[in-house]
Amino acid sequence: MDENKNNLNDDLKPMEYYDFKSAKEKSEAEAKRESEDYVVDRSERVRNFIANMESTDIDDMIETVDTTTPEHKGEVYFSTAKARKHTTGHQTPKKDNAKKKNTAIRTLSGIFTTFMLVFIVVATAVASIVGISCIGDVLALNRSKQQVTVTVPENTDVKNMISILEDSGLIKNELFCNLFAKFRHMDSNEYLSGVYYMNAGMGLERMLNLAKIAPSKIDTVQVSIPEGYTLYQVFQRLESNDVCDAQQLFDTLNQIDFDYDFIDELAESEGEYSIYEGYLFPDKYEFYQGENPTNVLKKFLENYDNKWTAEYSKKAENLGMTRDQIMIIASIIQKEAVTKEQMGNISSVIHNRLKRSASYPVIECDSTLEYVNSSITPVIGEQLSSKYSKYYDTFTCKGLPAGAICNPGTEAIEAALNPNDTSYFYFLHDNAGNIYLAETFAEYEEKNQEVLIANGAK
């Protein structure tokens, strides 16, 4: 029996394929011996074979079993492939990895879908807000009516104008407003320098039209400016004739630099209220109603520039005076003289005192102090205007006041340039406008008594 078992073990050495049927065909004697001497159940022989294999390292001998079932014809198949080690009881690592991969894909897909939904909602909300804001700039939807002062410099085009509006807080979307202006064919417009009062409730188009060179209205009005009017009086008259707002004119004067040669000659002196006082030439003008304030002021300044001649400049030079000094003297003459005939003598008194400043340090003209009370205080208030008194009160300040006290006409300017040749140092008027002149203080006191009598007699 042991011999037979040894023979069997020899026959059952590891092989790729063992065929009992073929073994019978090889040797009928061997087949007969196997059937007669040793019969064993196939399953027992297989168990014996496995038991034999376990005596060695079965993990190194067995490969993964091929699960494909070949066509069965009664043969018995053995495999020497090394078995794959399993980490789980019933599932292979390949299935586990596939399951994990599918789970990860589903998770990433969910995250991406959520992100896209959030992105779409946020983008839609932002687009809606921006769209409403853009439309609001044009149609003035939910915009403030609070007035904003806007200063427009020279050579401003529509792009710069829109940028100014955004900087002033009047619009919120500069890019959209530029596109709108281009769509409305407003990109070729030019805008007149000046100071404007606007509010966001006006809407983009109306704000742009307000500063255009072309007037907003076609109706015109003729306005006469009398000689001797101050800036305050001129602007009040323009406002009353619906030309433009008085405060807007003041703001424009203070913030805009006008390009005229004579303005470059004007050096603002200490305490001067406005360098433009004296240079708004009195005359009859025609304006558009609602006209641009810069355009209005340019008409006055151009008229003055045309009225001042080269001969005037030469005479001023011969007197050793500047243009500005002549205009200050002319403004005092304009305010002090009751008639044209008085202007030459009043001019001589002023010039004589300036020449003899050691003896007559002040020119003592009532009109200079009155200028502060009647033309400065109404504009800036009493508290602020009080500081100008010491610069304009010619009873206390030496020489000429800080600036002109009105806008003189041609006759007063020529009188300032051509004073009468006299020795007068004093003049005064009675209530009827008659002038009294004196060379000395003693003579002045005598004339003053005459004035008192004349006024009492009236």
The pLDDT profile of the chain, 458 residues, written as one tens digit per residue, is 445 444 444 444 444 444 544 544 555 555 555 555 544 555 566 566 555 555 554 444 444 444 455 555 555 554 444 545 544 445 556 666 776 667 777 777 777 777 777 777 666 655 555 555 557 566 666 677 788 888 888 788 888 888 888 888 888 788 888 887 787 777 666 787 778 888 888 888 788 877 776 555 568 899 999 999 999 999 999 999 999 999 989 988 888 888 888 888 887 788 899 999 999 999 999 998 888 888 899 999 999 999 999 999 999 999 999 999 999 999 999 999 999 999 999 999 999 999 999 999 999 999 998 999 999 998 888 888 888 999 999 999 999 999 999 999 999 999 999 999 999 999 999 999 999 999 999 999 999 999 999 998 65
User: What are the extents of the domains in the chain?
Assistant: 2-77, 89-214, 220-424
Q: Which residue has the tokens 């742009």?
A: 208
27, 64 Cβ separation under 8 angstroms:
no
- Residues counted in the chain: 458
What was the pLDDT predicted at 332?
97
In DSSP notation, 89-123 reads: SS--HHHHHHHHHHHHHHHHHHHHHHHHHHHHHHH
Q: 432: how many CB neighbours lie within 10 A of its CB? A: 11
Comparing CA positions, the residue from 457, 414, 405 lying closest to residue 432 is 457
What was the pLDDT predicted at 368?
94
What was the pLDDT predicted at 215?
55
pTM: 0.65
Which sign, positive or negative, has the C-alpha torsion 238, 243, 247, 248? negative
State the fold for domain 89-214.
Answer: Dna Ligase; domain 1 (3.30.1490)
Conformational region of residue 117, where left means phi above 0, alpha means psi within -120 to 50, and beta covers everything else: alpha
* Single-letter code of the amino acid located at 418: N
Q: Which residue has the tokens 């294999």?
A: 53
Residue 208, classed as helix, strand or coil, is helix
What was the pLDDT predicted at 64?
46
Query: How far is the CA of 252 from the CAs of 227, 296, 305, in angstroms?
Result: 22, 10, 19
Task: Report how far residue 303's alpha carbon sits from residue 284's, in angstroms, rounded to the nearest whole number.
Answer: 10
